[in-house]
Amino acid sequence: MAQRTPSGAVPGHRGRSASGTRLWTWLMLPGTLWMTGFLIASLILVATLALGTTDPLGNPRFGFNFDNIAAMADPAYRIVLLRSLGFALIACVVCLIVAYPVAYTIALHGGRFKNLLIAAIVVPFFANYLVRMYGWSVVLSDGGPVLKALRAVGLADAHTKILQSGVGVIAGLVYGFIVFMIIPLFAALERMDLSLIEAGRDLYGGPLRTFFFVTLPATRQGAAAGAVLVFLPAIGDFVSAQLMGGPDQIMIGNLIQDKFFQGQNWPLGSALTMLMMAVLFIGMLGYLRRTRKDEAEAAR
C-alpha cells in the first residue's frame, strides 16, 4: 500500500500527474497550432477582405471601405438570408420530430442491438455528401418512387413537384443532417434515469403525459444540442438548394459560392460570409447561455 506524505499526497502520484499533464499539452499542440494558424488566420483574412474592393479585372484588393457591408441592406440579400434561416429552422423541427422516435426506440428498446442499430444509421453518412444528395434527388424526382406512391394514394396529382421547390430543399437538408440529431438524442436518452419514467407512471401519468412531462424535459439538452448541430451546417449548405431547389430557392451558401467562383467578387462574398457567421454566432451564444443556465439549475 502506498504511503502518504504529511500533506496527504501519494508519493510519485504528483510526478505522474505532472508528466501526464505535459503529455496532454504536447498532444494538444498540433490541434492548437492548426486552429490558430489556419482557422483563425482564414477568419481574419475573410474579415479584412470584406472591407476590400476589386480591380477592373475582378482581382480582390484589400482596403478599408464599407460598401460591401452597406450592400447587406439590399432586400435581395435579406430575403435570401431569411429564406436560409427559415429552411434551417424547419429542417431542425422536422429532424427533431423524425429523429426522436428513432433515438427513443434504439435507446430504450434496442437491447443488445443498440450499437448495431446506431452503426446502421451512422455508417451510410460516411458516403460522400454530394453522391447521397444526387441519389436523393433521383428518389424525389417526378418519376421517382416517392411521387409515384403519393399519386397512387391520391395525395399528389400529375402537377405536384418535390424537386425545384422549397419542400425539396428541406427534404435534402433533413436527409443530409438528421444523423446529427439522432446521436445527441440517443446519448441523452441513454443517460436518462429510467426511474423517472417509472415514477411518472406510479403517479398515474399515462404514456403521453409521462413522455411530455418527464421524458421530454429530461432530454431537452440532447434536443438542443441536436438542433445546433443540424442548424449550423444547414444554414450554410448549398448542395441541397442547388440540386433540390430551383433558382427561386437559393440559400446564402449558394450566394456566397456564386460571389467567389462565378461573380469574381470576393469582397462581397466575404461580407456575406461574415454576415452568416454573425447569425451563427448569435445562435451559438444563445445555446451556450441556455446550457449554462440548465447546468446551474441542475447543480442546485
Model confidence over 18-69: pLDDT tens digits?
666 778 888 888 888 888 888 888 888 888 988 888 887 778 888 888 888 8
Question: What residues contact residue 93 under an 8 Å CB cut-off, 6+ apart?
Answer: none
Q: What is the pLDDT of residue 8?
A: 46
CB 248 within 8 A of CB 168: no
DSSP string for residues in 62-101:
-----HHHHHTT-HHHHHHHHHHHHHHHHHHHHHHHHHHH
In Å, what is the CA distance from 115 to each residue of 118, 177, 194, 222, 273? 5, 20, 19, 18, 38
- Is the entire prediction scored with pTM above 0.85? no
Model confidence over 212-228: pLDDT tens digits?
888 888 888 899 999 99
Mean pLDDT of the chain: 84
Pick the CATH number of 72-290 from 1.10.3720.10, 3.30.450.20, 3.40.640.10, 2.60.120.10: 1.10.3720.10
Q: How confident is the model at residue 14 (pLDDT cuts 50, 70, 90)?
A: low
CB 254 within 8 A of CB 240: no
DSSP assignment, residue 2? Answer: P
Q: What is the pLDDT of residue 32?
A: 84
CB 129 within 8 A of CB 239: yes
